[in-house]
Amino acid sequence: MATTSMAMEQSKEVDIYRDTPLRFVGYTNEVGEAFRPLVHKNIVNLSYAAAFIYVLADVRDKAIKMKQSLSNTDHSPSSVNKKVVIAGADTLLWQTLASVAIPGFTINRFCAVNYFLLKNYAKIPKPTRKYVTTALGLLCIPFIVHPIDEFTTYAMNNTIRKLYFKE
């Protein structure tokens, strides 16, 4: 029994885009959002570009893996193509939501609220306010990753995935 369990664990492939520190590359836009008070908006935009490159790399990876997994089966070419497109689209949607849109919005609003509070209630000088806002934004990034990933998976499992993963 234990041997079977170990064999199953060993055969489970590690997804470098979701199970390794590479996952954090998808969060470069959050770092950009945290630094928004200190840097030019073009730097923030570049951080979004880096995050989307990560997203597209994962989409490519999932589509290729789906095609390879179906290559030696008796599926029709149209069935294979459909499954490859669904795998890619699902990854694109999940990664866009979980890695870019939701966390980017979250950090942006978190930093904006902190900046507003520091300005209006703490009366902290502007340069200090910018650095404190950036530090707080950076500090909260590790705490939002898992909940956002879980929420995105839950939301997609209960909405769009019900449509395209029907048997």
Asked if residue 2 belongs to a domain, the reply is: no
Does residue 25 contact residue 19 with C-beta atoms inside 8 Å? no
Domain that holds residue 124: 22-163
pLDDT in tens, 17-28: 888 888 888 889
pLDDT class of 4 with cuts at 50, 70, 90: very low
Asked if residue 7 belongs to a domain, the reply is: no
pLDDT in tens, 65-83: 999 988 887 778 888 899 9
Q: Nearest-5° angle of CA 163, CA 164, CA 167?
A: 95
Asked if residue 106 belongs to a domain, the reply is: yes
Rounded mean pLDDT of 4-19?
Answer: 64
Domain tally for the chain? 1
- Alpha carbon distance 114, 121 (integer Å): 10
**Statement: residue 5 has pLDDT above 50:** no
